[in-house]
Amino acid sequence: LKFRLAGYPRKHNEGRVEVFYNDEWGTICDDDFTLANAHVLCRHLGFVAATGWAHSAKYGKGIGRIWLDNVNCAGGEKSIGDCKHRGWGNSDCSHEEDAGVICKDERIPGFKDSNIIEVRKLLARVGSRCGPGSLKASCREPCHGAALLWGSPAWPHSSLNGWPSTPPLPAGCGGCVSGLLSPCRLFTERQQLNYRLHSVSCAGTEVHLSMCAFEFYRGNASAACGAGMPAVVSCVPGPLFATGSAHKKKQRQQQQGQPRIRLKGGAKVGEGRVEVLKSSEWGTVCDDRWNLLSASVVCRELGFGSAKEALTGARMGQGTGPIHVNEVQCLGTEKSLWSCPFKNITQEDCKHTEDAAVRCNIPYMGYETLIRLSGGRSRFEGRVEVAVGTGDRDQPRWGLVCGEGWGTLEAMVACRQLGLGFANHGLQETWYWDASNVTEMVLSGVKCAGHEMSLSHCQHHGTSLNCRNTGTRFAAGVICSERTKKDSASDLLLHAPLVQETAYIEDRPLHMLYCAAEENCLSSSARLANWPYGHRRLLRFSSQIHNNGRADFRPKAGRHSWVWHECH
């Protein structure tokens, strides 16, 4: 049996239940439906439990057969087929009675979702030219290494036996994998090699090496691979990870002329809502048939590795504007999403609640080891400290960042570098407890665009420090969002279509804007106006805000001190 959630509108963990039986998708009738039934179905779908269920085709009417009716589960069954029911295909219902479930947004550990790859990372022992590191890390520069799989304390090698001269391997870090390099460099490693895999055969469309065909060595692994050598690969770094201006220039030239694509709304590098440029207008991708193969094409096109998650149901927030494409069906070999088969969208096909998103594998760069927070009340806040050079005993020397000019964009980069998601606040003055005894200011003039992976990538004064106030009180600080990986989209969602439909410009007389001025609802130039004569030009619109997450509303002011503002 296979199960899926369908319908509209819905989140990723709710929807109409559809079951694949006898080579045909069908629905379940809501007659006698209970929460116990929903528990069993949610476990089928990979969630730990159900929090509710829906009747009367709340998520829309399905099509095809109604496979089950009068289902009665105790709640502990391993399969819905073990519950009492009228028999497969025996129903007196119509699709107006299709049942739905709302599952708890928590996955069963180890559950294999076809749109999520959860496997241990591929590691590498890099040759003497590059020093130790991971295969992903080796893509920081075009260096070479022997491929290893994490699997036993012996760090077992993959054998060269059966390995093609130009293997179309799934790259862990953007771009293609080049052909074999001279294995003689590996003789610099004076140690016994233990082999576990041989005859690795990939089609090139796999999102992870573990999904290729291969064979295990049995018995004495140290005597294996007699006719071969350790497999060797060289990765091509993506634009974000390329070193040297010549390499970056070459990559930019390769990308020119291609249809454009971007990720938006993600808290981390390599994740976000997929947006494509068509007819000079950015739009989104509908999640119908969205899977790891299509997501991997997007990730590689952007210079990342293969995809580790293909997200549906606007998990990275709802986009605005048009939805350009639907039912993308990539084979995995395409170099661009636009080379994949897809359907042009129509108004009825999709809504922005179905925007597709991705999480890509990216090279491990170690940026989070060069920044830390100190003195905060939780690990999500504190004074920003950065590592510069080395101090005593080859330990990194830590210093403070000047708070002058520090704002939200800089805080976004700092929180991203820390791996803590979005920024809530960028603080120019900090009153945090001096937990680390760091008092020296080492970085000033930091100015970020917001997309950088590290503060060191932003503009700054370099070694010539220029900060008017060098006391610890004037060091930069951040408060990052306490949001888990699962909830990486914003909790509060603006109803974007409503804003677009209702927006208009109004010239409003100044004498009608006294309240707005007193409450700082007008721009700062309003102070220079000739009150009460003249007018201000305002952008007016209706808005609805939906809370899409589990975070509490926690205003700084207590309820007793709330006041209503006419201008809001």
For residues 457 and 473, state if they share a domain. yes
Lowest-confidence segment of 93-102, 145-154, 362-371 by average pLDDT: 145-154
Among 360, 383, 401, which residue terminates a domain? 360
Q: How much is the pTM? A: 0.58
Instruction: Write the secondary structure of 492-528 as one string of H (helix), E (strand) and C (coil).
Output: EEECHHHHHHHCEEEEEEHHHCHHHHHCCCCCHHHHH
pLDDT grade for 346, boundaries at 50, 70 and 90: low
pLDDT tens per residue across span 181-227: 444 444 444 456 777 788 888 888 787 787 788 888 776 655 677 77
Instruction: Say if 181 falls within a structural domain.
Output: no
pLDDT 10s digits, 480-495: 986 544 444 556 677 7
Examine residue 124 and state whether it is found in any structural domain, yes or no. Answer: no
pLDDT of residue 90: 92
Domain count, the chain: 4
Mean pLDDT (the chain, rounded): 77
Does residue 147 lie within any of the structural domains?
Answer: no
380 shares a domain with 319: no
Residues 6+ apart with CB under 8 A from 275: 261, 262, 263, 264, 282, 283, 284, 285, 319
Q: Same domain, yes or no, for 393 and 355?
A: no
466 and 504 both lie in a single domain = no
Nearest-5° Cα angle at 89, 86 to 92: 65
Rounded CA gap, 210 and 292, in Å? 14
Query: Average of pLDDT values for 271-292?
Result: 90
Q: Cα–Cα distance between 107 and 112 in angstroms, integer?
A: 10
> Does residue 145 lie within any of the structural domains?
no
Q: What's 559's DSSP letter?
A: G
pLDDT at residue 129, as a whole number: 30
In a shared domain, residues 317 and 343: yes
pLDDT on residue 124: 35
- Lowest mean pLDDT: which of 22-31, 37-46, 160-169, 541-550? 160-169
Closest CA to 177 of 197, 189, 163: 163
Identify the domain boundary among 48, 72, 103. Answer: 103
Share of the chain above pLDDT 90, in %: 28
User: Taking residues 543-554, what's their average pLDDT?
Assistant: 65
Question: Looking at residues 536-558, what average pLDDT do you find?
Answer: 72
Q: Which of 54-63, 69-78, 208-217 has the lowest mean pLDDT?
A: 208-217
Q: 356 and 372: one domain?
A: no
Q: Amino acid letter at 231?
A: A
Query: Beta strands 271-278 and 357-360: pairing type?
Result: antiparallel
Residues 528 and 460 in one domain: no
Residue 103 has pLDDT above 90, yes or no: yes
Q: Would residue 554 count as lying in a domain?
A: no
Average pLDDT over residues 123-147: 34
Is the four-CA dihedral 111, 112, 114, 118 of positive or negative sign?
Answer: positive
Same domain, 92 and 7: yes
CA pair distance 309, 359, nearest whole angstrom: 5
Helix (H, G, I), strand (E, B) or coil at 425: strand
Based on the domain organization, do 347 and 386 belong to the same domain? no
Strands (E), 312-352: 323-326, 343-344
Same domain, 503 and 471: no
Domain span holding position 471: 367-480
**Alpha-carbon distance 138 to 155, whole Å?**
17
CATH number at residue 99: 3.10.250.10
Question: What is the per-residue DSSP string for 190-256?
Answer: -S---EEEEEEE--S--SSGGGSEEEE--S-GGG--TT--B-EEEBPPPTTT--SHHHHHHHHHHHT
Using one digit for the tens of pLDDT, what is the confidence trace for 380-429?
999 999 998 766 667 788 999 999 999 989 999 999 999 888 888 899 98
- Tell which of 360, 375, 406 closes a domain: 360
**Domain assignment present for 529:** yes
pLDDT at position 485: 44
CA distances from 132 to 16, 512, 524 (A): 50, 68, 55
The answer on 454 and 371 residing in a single domain is yes
**pLDDT at 472 exceeding the cut of 90:** no
Backbone torsion region of residue 408, taken as left when φ is above 0, otherwise alpha when ψ lies between -120 and 50, otherwise beta: alpha
Looking at residue 173, its pLDDT comes to: 41
pLDDT class for 40, splitting at 50, 70, 90?
Answer: very high
Q: Is residue 56 part of a domain?
A: yes
Q: Is residue 195 included in any domain, yes or no?
A: no
Give residue 507's Cα distance to chain centre.
Answer: 42
520 and 474 in a common domain: no
